[in-house]
């Protein structure tokens, strides 16, 4: 009698192997560019994927060149982002109509965390698409800016070395990082200079923020951004230390030489003056021996100190002639123990000493006449007015929000207008009473609310909503996950009118998704 189990076992094993191989082959053949035509399927994908680029095409024939680029980019960003193809001439016709897409050739929209982010507005190349998908919220890469066509953009060390090897003219290379504020400020001048100087030499740039360019930072000892290095015959000649303006850059490329060393100005203590400069070891004895002394604590780099210095010198001379007291000064950067002892926290700080001891601060003395008038009749200034009570502690119909109650409170309302503010901000102080009046007028509505966020206390909340100035007003509708900047007037009537028309405003936002901010 045959053992059927022994006969079946090899067969089962072969079937399992075939199944595994089939699954692996299926995965290998799966396209990186996902073709889609069902709206529900698309909504599900947007709920589960955080970085999605939709490509609507008029037809495969019309978009043949674009499709090749999109396919290559989808392969390159596999695992980092999801790229979807929707054919508006075929199976995706209904979906295109639902999404209000009518491409002439191709139209691309980006979605971040399930919400519309922006229309793709960069070059239609594999490199541009890949850069965008890897950093959708980043700035336009410098090499894609139309004004930077004459800047030679170097992707890596190999391209840099190749340029230096073949180029016989002078070469300036700007080592930069995309996030660097000084680099961003300099880029327009550098781009214009590259255009004007292209017959003289080469002006290039390399992004050393890229991981693969860490070797560049090490080789050229780049420790700050931007760093500009000039090369001749392939060898480093000098670090450019001139002004970062177009004219200065062009002038340097025409005549590359280091700028003359600036002679530092003499220290205040070394100048001829009737101000007495005190140090830690001379301070106490001098104060004890002079019954009436004003002491200015300063820092040499401080702009306000520099502005006050000639007035202080002039007043010191006048007081010496009148024999009404002495003006002294302390360089707080050289005498930190004295500055610490007298609780100096800013510059300039002027303190009055009487009968050998500290008496009080004199914050309002900023010209020679006032300094002399004070020393004629020293009087302690009145105490500053008490600080205003926190807005949140003042009774009003404004809802004060924090990280803990922000989302729960706004979810309860259909329409919310939130003012992000700082207590010290003058424009905020002007808008506050109008905002309070508007909140009172709208208090009878259970569907809308005016809220406020103190950004000095809720920094993370304000950062999450990209608040860059005060006050910033934003409209919220949590049901539709809609957030929009409010840029209307700042009177109570303006706020009330906006909220009374909130339904119409919301409809407009939903019809124009590019105006909706991705912040919820």
pLDDT tens by residue, 445-503: 878 899 999 999 999 899 888 898 899 999 988 776 778 888 889 999 999 999 988 87
Query: What's the confidence (pLDDT) of residue 27?
Result: 43
- Which residues 6+ apart lie within 8 Å of 363 measured at CB? 350, 381
Q: Is the pLDDT of residue 144 over 60?
A: yes
* 33-137 carries CATH number 1.20.272.10: no
Average pLDDT rounded to a whole number, residues 200-221: 91
| Tens of pLDDT, residues 383-406 | 767 777 899 999 999 999 998 898
| Tens of pLDDT, residues 305-339 | 999 999 999 999 999 999 999 999 999 999 999 99
What DSSP assignment string belongs to 374-441? HHHS--PPPPPPPPPPPGGGS--SPEE--TTTHHHHHHT-SEEEEEEE-TT-HHHHHHHHHHHHHHHH
- Which residues 6+ apart lie within 8 Å of 466 measured at CB? 517, 519
Q: Is the pLDDT of residue 252 over 70?
A: yes
Query: What's the confidence (pLDDT) of residue 510?
Result: 62
| Tens of pLDDT, residues 265-275 | 889 999 999 99
CATH for the 395-518 domain, from 1.10.10.10, 3.40.190.10, 2.40.50.140, 3.40.30.10:
3.40.30.10
Q: Are 409 and 476 in contact (CB under 8 A)?
A: no
Q: Could you give the 3-state DSSP secondary structure of residue 250?
A: helix
Query: What's the confidence (pLDDT) of residue 105?
Result: 94
Q: How far is CA 6 from CA 10, 15, 17, in A?
A: 8, 15, 18
**What CATH number has the domain spanning 143-254?**
3.40.30.10
Least confident of 132-141, 424-433, 453-462, 475-484: 475-484
HSE-CB of 229 using CA atoms within 13 angstroms:
20
Q: Quick check: pTM over 0.75?
A: no
- Pairing, β 326-331 against β 292-298: parallel
Mean of all residue pLDDT scores within the chain? 88
Query: What's the confidence (pLDDT) of residue 482?
Result: 76
Query: What's the confidence (pLDDT) of residue 520?
Result: 44
In sequence order, what E strands does 19-96 have? Answer: 33-35, 51-57, 82-87
Q: Is the pLDDT of residue 234 over 50?
A: yes
Tell me the CATH architecture of domain 269-376.
3-Layer(aba) Sandwich (3.40)
Least confident of 55-69, 95-109, 126-140, 503-517: 503-517
pLDDT above 90 covers what percent of the chain?
63
In degrees and rounded to multiples of 5, residue 306 shows phi and psi of -60, -40
Which positions are annotated as active-site residues?
Answer: 302, 305, 425, 428
Query: What's the confidence (pLDDT) of residue 325?
Result: 94
- Which residues 6+ apart lie within 8 Å of 496 measured at CB? 438, 441, 442
| Tens of pLDDT, residues 364-378 | 888 999 999 999 999
Does 51 sit behind a cis peptide bond, omega within 30 degrees of 0 on the bond before it? Answer: no
Whole-angstrom Cα distance, residue 500 to residue 415? 10
Question: Where in the sequence of the chain do the CATH 3.40.30.10 domains occur?
Answer: 33-137, 143-254, 269-376, 395-518
Least confident of 73-87, 164-178, 292-306, 380-394: 380-394
Q: Is the pLDDT of residue 421 over 50?
A: yes
Whole-angstrom Cα distance, residue 173 to residue 167? 13
């Amino acid at each position: 009698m045959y053992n059927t189990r022994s006969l079946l076992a090899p067969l089962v094993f072969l079937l399992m192997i075939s199944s595994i191989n089939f699954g692996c082959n299926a995965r290998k053949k799966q396209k990186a560019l996902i073709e889609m035509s069902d709206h529900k399927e698309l909504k599900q994908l947007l709920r589960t994927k955080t970085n999605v680029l939709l490509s609507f095409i008029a037809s495969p024939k019309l978009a043949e060149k674009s499709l090749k680029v999109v396919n290559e980019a989808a392969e390159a960003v596999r695992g980092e982002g999801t790229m979807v193809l929707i054919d508006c001439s075929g199976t995706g016709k209904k979906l295109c109509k639902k999404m209000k897409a009518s491409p002439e050739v191709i139209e691309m929209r980006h979605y971040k965390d399930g919400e519309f982010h922006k229309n793709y507005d960069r070059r239609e190349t594999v490199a541009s698409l890949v850069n965008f998908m890897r950093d959708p919220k980043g700035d336009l890469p410098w090499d894609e800016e139309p004004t930077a066509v004459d800047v030679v953009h170097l992707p890596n060390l190999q391209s840099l070395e190749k340029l230096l090897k073949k180029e016989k003219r002078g070469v300036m290379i700007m080592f930069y990082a995309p996030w660097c504020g000084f680099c961003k400020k300099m880029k327009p001048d550098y781009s214009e200079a590259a255009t004007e100087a292209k017959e003289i030499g080469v002006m290039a740039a390399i992004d050393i923020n890229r991981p693969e360019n860490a070797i560049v930072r090490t080789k050229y000892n780049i420790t700050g951004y931007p760093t500009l290095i000039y090369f001749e015959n392939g060898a480093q000649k000098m670090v450019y230390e001139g002004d970062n303006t177009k004219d200065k850059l062009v002038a340097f490329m025409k005549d590359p030489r280091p700028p003359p060393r600036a002679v530092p100005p003499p220290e205040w203590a070394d100048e001829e003056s009737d101000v007495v400069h005190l140090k830690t070891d001379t301070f106490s004895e001098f104060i004890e021996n002079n019954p009436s002394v004003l002491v200015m604590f300063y820092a040499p780099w401080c702009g306000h100190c520099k502005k006050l210095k000639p007035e202080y010198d002039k007043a010191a001379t006048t007081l010496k002639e009148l024999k009404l007291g002495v003006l002294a000064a302390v360089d707080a950067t050289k005498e930190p123990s004295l500055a610490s002892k007298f609780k100096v926290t800013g510059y300039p700080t002027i303190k009055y000493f009487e009968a050998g001891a500290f008496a009080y601060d004199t914050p309002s003395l900023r010209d020679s006449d006032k300094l002399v008038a004070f020393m004629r009749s020293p009087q302690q200034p009145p105490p500053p007015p008490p600080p205003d009570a926190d807005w949140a502690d003042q009774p009003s119909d404004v809802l004060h929000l924090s990280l803990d109650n922000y989302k729960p409170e706004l979810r309860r309302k259909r329409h919310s207008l939130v003012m992000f503010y700082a207590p010290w901000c003058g424009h905020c102080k002007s808008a506050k009473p109008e905002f309070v009046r508007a909140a009172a007028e709208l208090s009878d509505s259970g569907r809308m609310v005016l809220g406020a966020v103190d950004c000095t206390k809720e920094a993370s909340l304000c950062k999450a909503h990209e608040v860059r100035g005060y006050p910033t007003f934003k409209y919220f509708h949590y049901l539709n996950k809609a957030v929009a900047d409010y840029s209307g007037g700042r009177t109570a009537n303006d706020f009330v009118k906006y909220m009374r028309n909130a339904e119409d405003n919301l409809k407009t936002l939903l019809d124009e998704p590019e105006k909706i901010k991705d912040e919820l």
